[in-house]
Amino acid sequence: MHFSGCLCALLVALVYQVSGMDTVIGLYGETIEVPCNNGAPKPKDLFMTKWKYDDGDLLTQLKDQDASVIATDKYKDRVSMAENSSLLIAAATLKDEKTFTCMVVAGADISEYPVKLLIHKAPTGVEITALATELEIGKPTQLGQCSTSDANPAASITWFKNKKPLVADGKGIIISSKVKVDEVTGLTTTSSILQYTAEKGDTAALFTCGALNTLSSPVSFTVTYPTERISLHVISKGPLMEGANVTLKCKADGNPPPTSFNFHILGKVVKVENSDSYTVTDVTRESTGEYKCSIIDNAKMEDSKNITINYLDMSLSPSGKVMKSFGEGLALTLQTHASGELKVSWTKDNGKLDSRPTFDKLTYSDSGKYEVVVTMGPLIKKASFELVVEGVPVIRRVAKRRGEDGQHKVLTCEAEGSPKPTVAWSVNGTSADESPYVNGKITHKLTIVPTVNLTVVCTVSNELGQDTRTINVSTYSSDEGDTTKLVVGVIVGLLLATVVVGLAYWLYMKKSKQGSWKTGEKEDGSTEESKKLEEKIEEKLEENSQKVEV
């Protein structure tokens, strides 16, 4: 009885304190920790800690003792107390959303710390259903329904186009949402319907919806709109030239595009169904003109293109192999007809010529293969002929010279002709040497050792004729006699020249004296001239005398 009275007195003496309410958010299905006194340290004079809620007590713990579970309801096997006096609730559900109170008895004070518990759960997924089959420009269409389930609180859904949020404007964008609560779990399912009026630029747009940090898979739609403009395209491999195939392609900006068109080919209408192309084959220069395409059910919607077919005609005369005689002329004619500006170039034996060749008087060097190349942009045409200049061989020069040893004689015979002449000598020799046959010219050399004076004949011939020339060749001793005769002849010539000069001087002096006797003029001038002339004659005589001595 005494103990009971003391305990009552103790309880009466306690000061009862209630603190403001805190809020804790826990995750659905997880173990939730509800702190006592916001996690403050235990007081030193702690006597007892107890957790309770509106429907009853949950558990208590006396100082230095283990916590005891008092609950007999659904919390019997789900609650426990942590070391810091926090309440632990396992497998949280929405039914755990209530206020839990931590009562602390310390010394003479009793304090209570209520905590409001909220349970949150993220939605399990976001998806778009009830998709529209297509969107038509300017027509409001229900694009789809976005849904997310098993959430608490109810999820808020946002629609996106190309990752940018869509904001309802009541006109082109109308968004309506609703929330449904599960009677068993209390979790919510949110659905949102988007009514959207498409624009032309939405053809490749990607639409998504999201809740919290979860996004649906993107979806796109076929956007339909009528054709407003068509365009004609000309497709060809390489330049438009005669013999090529030209494809006309008609493109429309509608979606879906038209499948049938009318092609206007130089005034003729060709209807093409289930295709947007038409090919004109093997075009000619007469194919140049205006081409059109139009929609079958709207002839006014059309496009046109002017097409020019390029052509290049060329003829060259002569052609093939041309045989001409030396000294003749050859007329060269090049005719061209083209749709544009031309460039003409000539080559001879693959070597570039600076200008067009002319053949007024043919020579052997004119022989060769000539080619003309005419170009107009990418178009190229070529023509060629081979010119062969023929002629009877003609010897242009025969010559002789003494060999380096003084005993041999080197004979030279130079000739022209075509076909290539054959060179023959009337004597046999050694070291016969023939130059290359170039431009109808050939040079033949023959080395001989004459023992007697000879008249050597050089003969050149081909299938058209022949020519001969002779040259006198003497032995070495005969050459010495010839040299002596030459020296004597020079001396005699010099002496005769001296006599002639002297005779001329005598006649001049005689004439001068006669003139002065007849006129009676002074002789000072003529005397001076006479002295100068005498000096020149003396110098000439002395010079000739020196040459004779040599």
pLDDT tens digits, 254-266: 988 999 999 999 8
d(CA 180, CA 188) in angstroms, rounded, equals 5
Q: How much of the chain is helix, strand and coil, in % rounded to 5?
A: 20, 50, 35
Mean pLDDT of 179-201: 94
Which pLDDT score, from 0 to 100, does residue 19 have?
Answer: 59
Which pLDDT score, from 0 to 100, does residue 430 have?
Answer: 76
Which pLDDT score, from 0 to 100, does residue 443 have?
Answer: 95
Q: What is the pLDDT of residues 487-543, one digit of tens each?
A: 445 455 666 766 666 676 667 666 655 444 333 434 444 445 555 555 555 555 445
Judged against a pLDDT cut of 60, whether residue 481 lies above it is answered with: no
* 200 or 148: which leads in pLDDT: 148
Q: What is the pLDDT of residues 80-90, one digit of tens each?
A: 999 999 999 99
Judged against a pLDDT cut of 50, whether residue 434 lies above it is answered with: yes
Which pLDDT score, from 0 to 100, does residue 406 have?
Answer: 78
DSSP string, 382-409: EEEEEEEEEEEEEEEEEEEEE-TTSS-E
Which pLDDT score, from 0 to 100, does residue 21 have?
Answer: 85
Q: What is the pLDDT of residues 417-428, one digit of tens each?
A: 999 999 999 998
3-state secondary structure of 135: strand
Buried b (16+ CB within 10 A) or exposed e, 258-295: beebbbbbeeeeeebeeebebebeebeeebbeebbbbb
d(CA 89, CA 58) in angstroms, rounded, equals 11
Q: What's the alpha-carbon Rg for the chain, to the nearest Å?
A: 64
Cα distances from 184 to residues 181, 187, 188, 432, in angstroms, run 9, 8, 11, 127
Which pLDDT score, from 0 to 100, does residue 304 have?
Answer: 94
DSSP state, 274? S
78 touches 31 (CB < 8 A)? no
* Interstrand relation of 140-151 and 441-448 (parallel, antiparallel or unpaired): unpaired
Query: Bridge-partner residues for 389, per DSSP?
Result: 324
Q: What is the pLDDT of residues 289-310, one digit of tens each?
A: 999 999 998 889 999 999 999 9
Task: Grade residue 480 by pLDDT with cuts at 50, 70 and 90.
Answer: very low
In terms of pTM, does the model score above 0.85? no
